[in-house]
Structure 1
């Protein structure tokens, strides 16, 4: 872990932060003092940025012998209602009460004097995140199918949580969820782009014209993929925690299933920027059809329109990624290596969405 600030993303004091043109992501002294005040540290701090997220920012923190995780939004200015750290933490606490595997939330800070933006602190979960390489416990080909099945089982478990009553019933408005998603992301495009990609509007019209009937309501994670799962160390593969609840709400569970299958990398399927866990292209991983069949054993839903849900996921990702690309081109994401790839990555997402709608 790091103990010396770089003076750009991490600074030592609030005075150091005030001297910068762009606000830092971490202020060591104020965060250390806050953790000590909350009984979570001893006034010292070591840190390391973790995760692959392109939206909210996550740091592994060590203070007073405790391993913690701090999660905050990106640098201001922030869009209205986006990056709501207090809401994200509250949802995870409610899910923990419902026995969904999530990290324990230890503190929520909305005081701008500490870091400039709201953030929360959670317990660090020991385990493995699977992206472009397989951790040693799962390198054996016999573990590949169980790894993928553990993911889809966790999704089915999440969608089995009761949302008809109790505190979770208040985290969203499930009626009209799909219509709102199409309308919202169609409206975001014009403000997020500086180029002409006609397929965005064409797909918006086609998605709007073919919205499926929602068969049931559930907690919708909004970014459910293997890279947002923490696997417990050891065999067989088991989910220790589901991560990244920024977009969680109530809605149509097939939106999660479609997102999961659209981001699940397989041979012969067009590569997109959403394929962040490329290891599943390996021959011993199950096909998407097997994952869908396993899910529908738990939730016997009509999945004949799953292509629509996959197209929605890819189209929404194109809109989101275009915003990142525009910010990178404007110089607002210095050092970003993901932004430049989106010049071609966003069109690939749109083409993949178009294929799913065929």
Structure 2
């Protein structure tokens, strides 16, 4: 517990935060802070201010890859989506004054519900085939809602440059990969080979949409009852305008079905093997029915997803080596990321088709 408390202290000066919150939320005699230790990227700090329950979102401490962990970008898209059919938490305010807690941050209302984490498994109330089917359909239909957003109407017309989205993504993540290798002091040939293959294999673009960039089961929250209903989508810091099929590929890459001994088991749900959960191919059919789009070039989009994930994990591993994180998963990345890179190569070679 002391490590968690020490980490919380490194993320926020509670006295300075309390003083700032009083200017935004009014005075209170009740202020409690706790660290949410189940995420692996941007940090989340829960706090009560009077009768209100809130979540504060900030970048991790220490050195981070350039352009990563943009919480103010996340605040912008969450605020814009509040008037759409996409379920998101209500934003409260954002702050770019680093004198408060040492970084940009924003505050949103805390949602009361359940995140289905890969390492803890499905909640017992959802352990029925019909509910598992609904979890999956909620996940896919919510993604279709994201891709159906009229981004011009809600003020996100300049949120990204969808032209050459895929090539820009590959260049961005390749640059981040090289930065991470310098920090971690190692190189992973299979990950670099993936970057080269992706750059040579970009498909023709389709009509751009708002894309989430990190869409997977543990980035949504379900209501506290049954049947399963998504009440919020989180982790929008990588969102932009671009190719919606990149989101589909990312969802598929993070949906284990028929894979034994996955690399970095904490990140890939094994319970999706249970009766009622669809296969990857069935997820594709569900998305095509919900969106009216055809999913194609599967090897490319799943390889791109794996490349993004592998590079992000290498940044996490570098943070572990630098001593700026207490995340218990990070030591396993020494072997886990090379294993993940080898899996991506199997996808590229056609040896791991959709399940």
Superposition TM-score, scaled by structure 2 size: 0.90
Query: Is the Cα–Cα contact under 8 Å of residues 42 and 64 in structure 1 kept in the other structure?
Result: yes
Secondary structure of 1:168's aligned partner: coil
**Which digits, 9 at most, give the CA deviation of each residue in 1:94-152, with x for residues without a partner?**
11123321111101111122111111110011111111322233122321111111101
Aligned to 1:151: 139
1:188-199 to 2 correspondence within 5 Å? 188-193=176-181, 194-199=185-190
CA distance in structure 1 between the aligned counterparts of 2:190 and 2:142, rounded to whole angstroms: 34
Query: Is the Cα–Cα contact under 8 Å of residues 208 and 242 in structure 2 kept in the other structure?
Result: yes
Aligned to 2:44: 58
CA distance in structure 2 between the aligned counterparts of 1:91 and 1:163, rounded to whole angstroms: 10
CA distance in structure 2 between the aligned counterparts of 1:289 and 1:5, rounded to whole angstroms: 43
- Unpaired runs of at least 5, structure 1: 12-23
Query: Is the Cα–Cα contact under 8 Å of residues 40 and 64 in structure 1 kept in the other structure?
Result: no
Query: Is the Cα–Cα contact under 8 Å of residues 64 and 315 in structure 2 kept in the other structure?
Result: no
Of 257, 260, 279, which aligns to 2:248?
A: 257
What is the Cα deviation at residue 315 of structure 1?
1.3
Aligned to 1:237: 228
Aligned to 2:271: 279
Query: Is the Cα–Cα contact under 8 Å of residues 80 and 154 in structure 2 kept in the other structure?
Result: no
Residue 214 of structure 1 pairs with residue 205 of structure 2: yes
Aligned to 1:329: 321
Indicate the RMSD between aligned Cα atoms, in angstroms.
2.2
Query: Is the Cα–Cα contact under 8 Å of residues 62 and 319 in structure 2 kept in the other structure?
Result: no
Query: Is the Cα–Cα contact under 8 Å of residues 300 and 348 in structure 2 kept in the other structure?
Result: yes
Query: Is the Cα–Cα contact under 8 Å of residues 66 and 176 in structure 2 kept in the other structure?
Result: no
Superposition TM-score, scaled by structure 1 size: 0.89
> Structure 1 residues 80 and 350 mapped into 2: Cα distance closer, same or farther (>3 Å)?
closer
**Which digits, 9 at most, give the CA deviation of each residue in 1:235-290, with x for residues without a partner?**
22111000111111011000000000100121335613373433213233111111
Query: Is the Cα–Cα contact under 8 Å of residues 57 and 107 in structure 2 kept in the other structure?
Result: yes
1:125-164 to 2 correspondence within 5 Å? 125-131=111-117, 132-164=120-152
Query: Is the Cα–Cα contact under 8 Å of residues 4 and 35 in structure 2 kept in the other structure?
Result: no
> Structure 1 residues 316 and 34 mapped into 2: Cα distance closer, same or farther (>3 Å)?
same
How many residue pairs get aligned? The number is: 343
CA distance in structure 1 between the aligned counterparts of 2:35 and 2:103, rounded to whole angstroms: 17
Structure 1 runs of 4+ aligned residues shifted over 4 Å read: 4-7
Aligned to 1:290: 282
Higher RCO (CA 8 Å, separation ≥ 6 residues): 2
Aligned to 2:156: 168
Query: Is the Cα–Cα contact under 8 Å of residues 252 and 280 in structure 2 kept in the other structure?
Result: yes
